[in-house]
Structure 1
Amino acid sequence: MPNPPPTAGSSSLFPLISKKHEIVLFSSTAIALYGYDQGMMSLINTNSSYLQTMQISKESPIVGIIVSVYYLGCAVGAIIASWLADREGRKPSIFTCLATTAFGNILMFISGLSMNGTSPWKGGALACMLTGRVVMGLGVGGIDAVIPIYSSELASDKSRGKALAQEFQMNIFGLLMAYSINLGVTIGLGKQNQWAWRIPIIVMQIFPLVLMSVISQLPETPRWYISKERKDDARKALIHVHGKEKAERLLESIQKAQDEESNEKVGYKDMLIPGGSQYHPSMVTVMGQINQALTGYGAVSVYGPQIFELLGFQTEKAEYLTLGNYISYFLMMTFAWLSIDVFGRRKLMIWGSIGLSSSFALLTIFGGLAQSVPGVPVLAVEIPGSIVLFVATAIFGIGWLATVWLIPTEIYPSTARAQGSAISVIVWGFANFTITLLTPVGFNNLKYWLFLIFAATNAFAGWWTWRYSPESGGRSFEENQEFFDSARNDGSWVVREVDGGKFVTMPRKKKSDSESGADSESAPLLRNRR
């Protein structure tokens, strides 16, 4: 048996916390891998030893290529991991992705390694670094595809958003941790020292090694067991999480949902070809990730210091301000998990786009004053410009970071959930590949006018979300399928025209819902046992 269920008496990772919190802690740490890479590369890109080892200049487009090929690896990794998650289970897929991430990280660390200092390995250092970036992307992309599924299948309908937003707060913790380490060793060792960029890379190895060592103590999702007709294993997993009293009721509701979907065989052609049974939810997923990329915050995260330099700051101050921005980013993500299940995904994204579009328009003005208008007092630009950038980062974290990852886990049936999550990561990979590849070119040629482009793309993202993206929060997986059935019957994808606008907002809470807890998936699958 490749994926044995834990028994009811198996040991807990942390005896003082519930199994629910163990799962959130594990998933959060896994999601932090992506954030760590962003924070790690933001200062590596400007390290003199790194640039010499790779035999490139600071303005070379290869800087962007090294960053962006990672996202191509993520796209491929999502396909492989989602297939493995359906075939062998969520846990084996996650373990494989963690091992792949660790291997890619080692390749990056040893690129051009020489105890005597920087060495280009006769050109082989760049090849090794590119290979490491792609391999690590395979692992992280797979993690980003499977972890949201794993988490959502073990969370209640009323708290799925909170759980994933908490995980993405750890994503920002990873970014903050990487950047802090990077900045610390850069100050301590200098930008001419190879260990100033190698140390942040190898520290990342802590994440996959720790996660691989503890994953065996966590449950596989009962939904996956049921999908493989392993009902006894699903029962054992439920008992392990909830205790015997609740397990049978939950098992019955999951089995019922599976029986209703058992005759639906869904492939990628059903999801990506117009007219396919899951084409509509796939387009919601695709556009969600494209619109998130169009917010520009993939570029802001990776090229933070360069953004502050466009506002007129010197390099050293820009690096410190980037650290401050990341600290604020992490703290403000608290409001994301406090609000996502209250206001819903759709409302946060729409208002987030309005806030971001306005912020980037202001940054265009401040950048123009700093770069093109002589005689303007420095502080008159730097202080308000920094405040706007801090606010914009918070808006993105609250409105856009977790929402587009959560929606694909809520709008597909079980038979298509893994593929839907893979499509989400694939599009995210290609979109961010494009953005991170072109951003350095934009810095060098457009300067502060790049902000105006992001203002326009954010406006588009908000319009599309308002018109076509349904509210999936507060509903069961099955209830969200009703939107796409109604859209097909009504002949429209416009949210306000489908089913009388029912999916414009989250459903109102009913007193009976909170008291009964007995309907299919509305009962929490992970609630603390008392």
Structure 2
Amino acid sequence: MAVAHGAGKHLAEREAPLPALTAGPWGARLGVVSVVACLGGLLFGYDTGVVNGSLRPMSEELGLDALGQGVATSSLVFAAAIGALLGGRLSDRHGRRTVLVALAVLFFVGAVVLVAAPGLGVLVVGRVLLGLAVGGASTVVPVYLAELAPHEIRGSISGRNEVAIVVGQLAAFVVNAILGVTLGHLDGVWRIMVAVCALPAVALFVGMLRMPESPRWLVARGRRDDALAVLRQVRPAERAAAELARIERSVAAADDRGRARLRLVDVLADRPLRRILVAGIGVAVAQQLTGINAIMYYGQSVLVESGFSEQAALIANVAPGVIAVVGGLVALAMMDRVDRRTTLILGFSLTTACHVLIGIASSVLAVGDPARPFVILALVVLFVGAMQTFLNVATWVYLSEVFPLRMRGLGIGVAVLLHWLVNGSLALAFPSLLAAVGMSGTFWLFACVGAVALAFIVRRVPETRGRTLEGLEAELTAR
């Protein structure tokens, strides 16, 4: 390995700067590609957020008890863990674009099954199908965007997916609120809430049929001419040729090391690759341990617990969705200006402080105090804003760029698999945790976990901003 690592370091040192990005139609084409691909993120957000307001009418119509509610909510999330792992591996084998087309079909079929569900069994089948699609999208879309974007604007291009996710969640909250207020008397109102997601699934399918494949995947499969044609669509002409040459050198170096198609055991046996994998897993898991998706899935229940009525909580629940979108737009604006490590450290510091404040407020303000629901709502909004501004976008951008090409599908698949497993565990356990230790104890626990996550980021996470994917790979594997 010493020779291979030395070769990687030498490659990083001798790379000449790429030609500058000049103005041209390539920018508009790249923008269209990112919008279409981010429909996968929009579906991710809607399908995970719609349960927040549809769970109560769904439970009333289908007769779901507390366990049934937990199973219905978490089944999508646990299936997403499998979808994330499969999505990464399948995209390595069949291409990013091809897998995204298949995921669009899965999103549509899952929505149809869910709308027609007569009971919990079929309901879970529909949720599992949607979960597989959500997990696959969470893995493939960030990688697809990162591999198509120039390194100078990779953060803002890749980060659009996370903004699309929170836009999807906000759309779910708004649709839930409107339908809950206007059609809440109907038994099947939750079916209408779910059916809405079929529309962007059709748009994703049609749109991705016209989008290009990842040039890095094409080079790895020996399709040089196809890769150059794609780069000429999304780069200035001079830059396209130079970037292709750099990608080819990176792929050739990987082939020379005999690691073009890595297994997990290969990664674990290689110290630099193992460090990269641990960093990626740590960032993915830490982001979930903030409890953000407990708010996104059970936000209405948290607000009812704080003192709002059910209908008022359904409407108030839109506020965290709005601040999430605002925070995501702020994050995009700073993603190519502020280092990833700095962003992550700020994020975990702020979210942990919010956990402490929510814990204090729920302890000091007694149940029945008219100020309690509004103070807790304000702190939840502050937490979601900090989370979205500093952690959510940064996490997905980081995962899309930290793994070397030869282990990218595997690496992000494993990291996002564990991300979804933690997500699902919290989704299943949160109602019981809230009942057992109360709101104060729940958020104090989140604060303790946040402090541990902050220490991990400081010690174990390398910087990735401002480097080409090929240069970053050579740098990290040479350590």
Q: TM-score normalized by structure 2?
A: 0.89
Relative distance call for 1:219 and 1:300 in structure 2 (3 A) is same
Conserved? CA contact 2:37–2:208, under 8 Å: no
Q: Tell me what 1:332 maps to.
A: 327
User: Aligned with 1:70: secondary structure?
Assistant: helix
Q: Tell me what 1:73 maps to.
A: 79
Q: Tell me what 2:150 maps to.
A: 156
Distance in 2, matches of 1:204 and 1:360, equals 32
Relative distance call for 1:283 and 1:93 in structure 2 (3 A) is same
Is 1:55–2:55 an aligned residue pair? no
> 1:455-494 maps to which residues of 2 (within 5 A)?
455-481=447-473, 484-485=476-477, 487=479
Q: Tell me what 2:12 maps to.
A: none
Superposed structure 1 runs of 4+ greater than 6 Å apart? none
Distance in 1, matches of 2:450 and 2:176, equals 30
Conserved? CA contact 1:145–1:424, under 8 Å: no
- Equivalent of 1:267, from 259, 262, 267? 262
User: Aligned with 2:373: secondary structure?
Assistant: helix
Distance in 1, matches of 2:324 and 2:227, equals 39
Relative distance call for 1:472 and 1:240 in structure 2 (3 A) is closer
Distance in 1, matches of 2:204 and 2:152, equals 27
- Equivalent of 1:290, from 282, 285, 298? 285
Distance in 1, matches of 2:117 and 2:283, equals 36
User: Aligned with 1:133: secondary structure?
Assistant: helix
Greater relative contact order structure (CA < 8 Å, 6+ sep) = 2
Relative distance call for 1:382 and 1:79 in structure 2 (3 A) is closer
Distance in 1, matches of 2:163 and 2:264, equals 34
> 1:195-344 maps to which residues of 2 (within 5 A)?
195-242=188-235, 244-263=237-256, 264-265=258-259, 266-270=261-265, 273=268, 275=270, 278-344=273-339
Relative distance call for 1:195 and 1:271 in structure 2 (3 A) is farther
Relative distance call for 1:410 and 1:98 in structure 2 (3 A) is same
State which structure, 1 or 2, has the greater radius of gyration over its C-alpha atoms: 1
Is 1:450–2:458 an aligned residue pair? no
Relative distance call for 1:414 and 1:17 in structure 2 (3 A) is closer
> 1:361-380 maps to which residues of 2 (within 5 A)?
361-371=356-366, 377-379=369-371
User: Aligned with 2:186: secondary structure?
Assistant: coil
User: Which segments of 5 or more consecutive residues in structure 1 lack a partner in the other structure?
Assistant: 1-14, 113-124, 488-530
Identity of aligned residues (%): 22
Matched residue type, 2:55: N
Is 1:85–2:85 an aligned residue pair? no
Conserved? CA contact 2:50–2:169, under 8 Å: yes
What does the per-residue CA deviation read over 1:433-490, in whole Å, with 9 as the maximum and x for residues that have no partner? 1011111111222221211111111111111111111111112223333554465xxx
Displacement of 1:17 in angstroms is 7.6
Distance in 1, matches of 2:247 and 2:270, equals 29
Distance in 2, matches of 1:378 and 1:100, equals 46
> 1:13-52 maps to which residues of 2 (within 5 A)?
18-47=28-57, 50-52=58-60
User: Aligned with 1:35: secondary structure?
Assistant: helix
Distance in 2, matches of 1:483 and 1:89, equals 26
Distance in 1, matches of 2:270 and 2:235, equals 41
Is 1:384–2:375 an aligned residue pair? yes
Q: Tell me what 2:130 maps to.
A: 136
Distance in 1, matches of 2:120 and 2:248, equals 51
Distance in 1, matches of 2:86 and 2:186, equals 38
Matched residue type, 1:95: V
Displacement of 1:25 in angstroms is 0.7
Conserved? CA contact 1:271–1:277, under 8 Å: no
> 1:113-124 maps to which residues of 2 (within 5 A)?
none
Distance in 2, matches of 1:17 and 1:225, equals 21
Conserved? CA contact 1:270–1:277, under 8 Å: no
What does the per-residue CA deviation read over 1:292-344, in whole Å, with 9 as the maximum and x for residues that have no partner? 11100011111111222232222222222211221122122111111222222
Aligned residue pairs: how many? 452
What does the per-residue CA deviation read over 1:155-184, in whole Å, with 9 as the maximum and x for residues that have no partner? 122221111222211211111111111111
Displacement of 1:251 in angstroms is 2.1
Is 1:194–2:187 an aligned residue pair? yes
Distance in 2, matches of 1:167 and 1:408, equals 12
Displacement of 1:39 in angstroms is 2.2
Distance in 2, matches of 1:310 and 1:369, equals 15
Displacement of 1:245 in angstroms is 4.7
Distance in 2, matches of 1:239 and 1:485, equals 29
Distance in 2, matches of 1:296 and 1:232, equals 46
Is 1:104–2:114 an aligned residue pair? no
- Equivalent of 1:417, from 389, 408, 414? 408
Displacement of 1:144 in angstroms is 1.2
Relative distance call for 1:284 and 1:23 in structure 2 (3 A) is same
Relative distance call for 1:207 and 1:259 in structure 2 (3 A) is same
Q: TM-score normalized by structure 1?
A: 0.81
Displacement of 1:92 in angstroms is 0.7
Distance in 2, matches of 1:73 and 1:386, equals 31
Displacement of 1:84 in angstroms is 2.2
What does the per-residue CA deviation read over 1:89-134, in whole Å, with 9 as the maximum and x for residues that have no partner? 111111111111211111111001xxxxxxxxxxxx1110111111
User: Aligned with 2:336: secondary structure?
Assistant: helix
- Equivalent of 2:161, from 148, 164, 167? 167
Displacement of 1:147 in angstroms is 0.8
Conserved? CA contact 1:312–1:367, under 8 Å: no
Displacement of 1:16 in angstroms is 12
Distance in 1, matches of 2:404 and 2:354, equals 38
Distance in 1, matches of 2:29 and 2:188, equals 39
Distance in 1, matches of 2:336 and 2:235, equals 23
Displacement of 1:369 in angstroms is 3.1
Distance in 1, matches of 2:95 and 2:374, equals 51
- Equivalent of 1:396, from 378, 387, 399? 387
Q: Tell me what 2:10 maps to.
A: none
Distance in 2, matches of 1:324 and 1:79, equals 33
Conserved? CA contact 2:348–2:454, under 8 Å: yes
Distance in 2, matches of 1:196 and 1:94, equals 30
Conserved? CA contact 2:110–2:127, under 8 Å: yes
User: Which segments of 5 or more consecutive residues in structure 2 lack a partner in the other structure?
Assistant: 1-24
